[in-house]
Structure 1
Amino acid sequence: MPHFKNIAIIFSLTLLLLISTKTNSTPVKNEDPNNTLNHPVTINLLVKKKNNTSKRLILPIVQIGSKRFKLNTTFDTGSQGLVLNASRVLPAEMITQDGITMNGQSSITINGIRITDIQDSCAYGAIKEKKRRYFGQIAYATVTLGDESNNVTTREMPFLLVYKGIVIFTQQPAKVDPVNDGICGVLSSYVSNDDNATSRKQLKSPFDYVSYSGDLHAGIELDPINDYIYGNVKDGMYPVPMLKIGITDRMESGLHIYEQKRLKNGSYSSTATTDVQCNGLAIKTNVLFDTGTPGCTYLYNPAFTSVSDVQPGTEMQFNLKDFSYKYYVDARHKTVSGPGNRTILPLVFFNDHHYLLDYQNHLICFL
């Protein structure tokens, strides 16, 4: 028995050594006392592995306002804005099914967290029967993103504190996330020169509320998961230095660049127009690159009125300008097709692809 225990210890140490010695994301800390970044800073994401597959990317949060926390949020490239379970941030007695108790005031401050009486909601999910809606109130605070080993701190920023969630189809209660304390949406499609929000749609990526200087501007770069965790890795949660905060124009060199489309309301599209080849069919669709979807690819097909599985062995090819992504449907690349307004490429896409979001220039870049 001790012999097997020693083998397990050696395996774990070897894995941690592989993660810590990667050369393409050497952790760089921010030493500026005013929390302004003048060079890219690398922080850890937690990679949850199960059955030899990446199931979640998780962004830790260690402080909100003046209070220390140990929160885990789903790192989500498919949405924008920080959405947190209010019960993990505020005293339980403040939270009701109708909202956060304000005692008749328009705003109250607890531990440096300013909660307003502005209520709004947000929805998540591609499939009608599983779509959820969350009801919350806008709050403001500085937020420290990352773990204790390395992190960045925002200016005072708006976020949504959720007091109630439902599955829209059944009206049954729904958690903000099945296992995490919230969702960190890192898209930043809304355009604003200030840090105020009067509705959920005005929330930006938390990393858009970080201060940058010099040649550095707002944006993030995500390394491929398989650069760090690959092969037959046992189930577990692994800290990985795969997220860079702050980008330069030089970092986009050699990547496939897609300019986000400006919409009539002044914001920018979160999707990219793509041609998809599936079973001999050519489908033009808008694709969302989504780390927040851990399961299967969802292919929007205007000819479908209900959701159905794409048969195993089917070749799928996504063509976006000069970039092409191809796979064959199997247990790892499960694909369903159905009605909707966009196609979703899930977390498995990020196993082997670099991904960069340029908030300043409204670019989606990948390789």
Structure 2
Amino acid sequence: MSKHFLKYLPALFLLVFAASCKKDAKVPPTVTQPSNFAKLGLYEQVSGSNRRVFIAVSKIGTVSTTDYGLVFDTGSTGLTIDASGIIPASMITSSGFQITGDSVNVNGITITSQTATLTYGGVDGSIKEYGNLAYAPVTIGDGNGNVTTPRIPIFLYYKVVNVNTGTQLAAHSADVFGVGPGVSATARAIASPLSYFKLPDNITSGFRLAMLNSTNFSATATYTAGLLYIGLTSDDLNASNFIMHPLTYNAIAGYQPNIKSTITYNGQNVPGTILFDTGTPATTIIENSAATSNSAALPANTVVSITTDQGFSYQYTTGTDLNLTEVQNPSYSNDRRTIFSIDFFLSNEYLLDYTNHRIGLKNN
């Protein structure tokens, strides 16, 4: 019925017609889109060419830890933190924790007698971290916004040492908040702190990392709001243009964050797998079994591109400060993975779906 015709209908008919329409009309239900379980900010900092992104952890057990920022690391799994300032100093020795029996409870933290050593530091594995499996609730975030986990497994260490020099590193210098999939190589009981939340039925376990803010990297750690979305909505998974990559299961470490890809530079197409790692602060390492030297830096203005097996593509140009890149032969590095540094996250978004074991990548 045209609006011109309605204009000439008798007034009484219009009233009856309006009343009839009102009585019979079906009001569509209001659809409320689910929201993420939590949204937190992160701290960005730069020192020379090293860029770091930290997450605040404001409480371990019952102990306030507001002075500690942990490296937010997509390349490892599990929360690793120094015991200094968290448990009484009298319990910490150079050879381990003072524990009688299977475990001890202190400050809301259960420290077990299960020990482990974490090794890292590149090719030589010179950095070793010594500690124990522990359990505690953890408050993630600070006064800008926070959320508390249930009681979760963590790695509590009592010392970290450069075994080449014999030097013990400063307390809390190796604190890491590993959010990768699977379980920690340190202790298989430990997984990402973000994977333990009890979520509503319409929220999927996982997180989304927004593109980092390149202008906020400064000598002083700068808070950037809204970078980390905990818990994934249906829109995150289906309507946000992420390209999803199913992960491969490993019998020891569970699902691994390595993505099959082809890396192209200087006319070479190198098949391999890529780890996208916020914990690598400066230099992307391309593993190429055809490399003629153990390790060599690509010169500035070299174009590097990747294409994953699911069709995600990304290209960058090496510089003197950003996008530093080296090529290594895996016979030297003993690691066949190409590792993309934090610079990747300055222009791309990243999503990890713990429930369905897949990583999403998105250009921005």
Q: TM-score range by the shorter chain?
A: 0.7 to 0.9
Other-structure match for 2:23: none
Q: Which segments of 5 or more consecutive residues in structure 1 lack a partner in the other structure?
A: 1-36, 191-196
Q: Partner amino acid for 2:105? A: T
Q: 1:89-168 maps to which residues of 2 (within 5 A)?
A: 89-102=86-99, 104-125=100-121, 127-129=122-124, 131-168=126-163
Return the offset for 1:66: 1.7
SS of the aligned residue for 1:262 comes to: strand
Aligned residue number for residue 30 of structure 1: none
TM-aligned CA deviation for residue 234 of structure 1: 5.6
Residue aligning to 1:222: 209
Residue of 317, 320, 342 corresponding to 2:305: 317
| Distance in 1, Cα, partners of 2:323 & 2:280 | 13
Please give the alpha-carbon distance, in whole angstroms, between the structure 2 residues aligned to 1:59 and 1:205: 13
Partner of 1:209: 196
3-state SS of 1:252 partner: helix
Change (3 A) 1:221 1:326: same
Query: Distance between the aligned counterparts of 2:62 and 2:304, measured in 1?
Result: 49
- 1:89 deviates by 1.6
Distance 1:243 1:336, change over 3 A: same
Match of 1:62 among 28, 33, 58: 58
* Offset at residue 44 of structure 1 (A): 1.4
* Matched-pair contact (CA < 8 Å) for 1:81–1:205: yes
Relative to 1, partners in 2 of residues 1:202 and 1:293: Cα closer, same or farther, differing over 3 Å? same
Paired residue secondary structure (2:248): coil
Query: Partner of 1:238 in structure 2?
Result: 222
1:235 deviates by 4.0
Task: Tell me the CA shift for residue 175 of structure 1.
Answer: 5.0
Show the counterpart of 1:328: 317
Cα distance in 2 for partners of 1:282, 1:145 equals: 42
Unmatched segments (≥5 aa) in structure 2: 1-33
Which residue of the partner structure matches residue 234 of structure 2?
249
The separation in 1 between residues aligned to 2:166 and 2:186, in whole angstroms, is 23
Residues 15-38 of structure 1, C-alpha deviation per residue, up to 9 Å, x if partnerless? xxxxxxxxxxxxxxxxxxxxxx97
Q: Deviations over 1:255-281 (max 9, x none)?
A: 111010122447112211110012111
Summarize the Cα distance change of 1:347–1:248 in structure 2 as closer, same or farther, 3 Å threshold: same
Residue 166 of structure 1: how far off its partner (Å): 2.7
Task: Give 3-state SS (helix, strand or coil) of 1:268's partner.
Answer: strand
Relative distance call for 1:357 and 1:311 in structure 2 (3 A) is: same
> Could you tell me which residue of structure 2 aligns to residue 43 of structure 1?
40
- Given that 1:48 and 1:57 are in contact with CA atoms closer than 8 Å, whether structure 2 keeps it comes out as yes
Q: Which of residues 174, 182, 185 is equivalent to 2:178?
A: 185
For residues 195-218 of structure 1, the C-alpha deviation after alignment (integer angstroms, 9 at most, x for no partner) is xx9961331100111111120121
Q: Does 1:359 align with 2:350?
A: no
**Distance change (3 Å), C-alpha of 1:230 and 1:309:** same
Deviation at 1:173, TM superposition (A): 3.1
2:276 to 289, 292, 308: 289
* SS class of match (1:220): strand
Secondary structure of the 2:84 match is helix
In the TM superposition, residue 106 of structure 1 has moved relative to its aligned partner by 1.5
Q: Is the CA contact (8 Å cut-off) linking 2:181 and 2:254 kept in structure 1?
A: no
Query: Would the aligned equivalents of 2:84 and 2:171 in 1 still touch at CA under 8 Å?
Result: no
Contact 2:261 2:307 in 1 (8 A): yes
Aligned alpha-carbon RMSD (Å): 2.4
Deviation at 1:171, TM superposition (A): 4.9
Instruction: Give the superposition deviation at 1:132.
Output: 2.0
Deviation at 1:366, TM superposition (A): 1.3
Amino acid paired to 1:69: T
CA contact (8 A) 1:86 1:161 kept: yes
Alpha-carbon shift at residue 287 of structure 1 (Å): 0.9
Q: Distance in 1 between matches of 2:259 and 2:275?
A: 7
Q: Deviations over 1:43-94 (max 9, x none)?
A: 111111456x771110101111122221210000000000001113222222
Identity of aligned residues (%): 28
Pairwise CA distance, 1:315:
1.4
Using the TM superposition, give the Cα deviation of residue 185 of structure 1 relative to its aligned residue in structure 2, in angstroms: 0.2
> What residue number does 2:85 align with?
88
1:89 counterpart letter in structure 2: I
Measured in 2, the distance between the counterparts of 1:39 and 1:62 equals 21
Instruction: Give the TM-score taking structure 2 as reference length.
Output: 0.81
Cα pair distance change 1:61/1:262, threshold 3 Å: same
Q: What is the count of residue pairs matched by the alignment?
A: 317
Please give the alpha-carbon distance, in whole angstroms, between the structure 2 residues aligned to 1:175 and 1:109: 25
**Using the alignment, how far apart are the partners of 2:283 and 2:127 within structure 1?**
18
Partner of 1:72: 69
Inter-partner Cα distance in structure 1 for 2:251 and 2:135: 28
Q: TM-score by structure 1 length?
A: 0.80
CA contact (8 A) 2:188 2:253 kept: no
- Quote the Cα distance in structure 2 between the aligned partners of 1:234 and 1:47: 7
Task: Mark the CA change 1:177 to 1:287 in structure 2 (over 3 Å): closer, same or farther.
Answer: farther
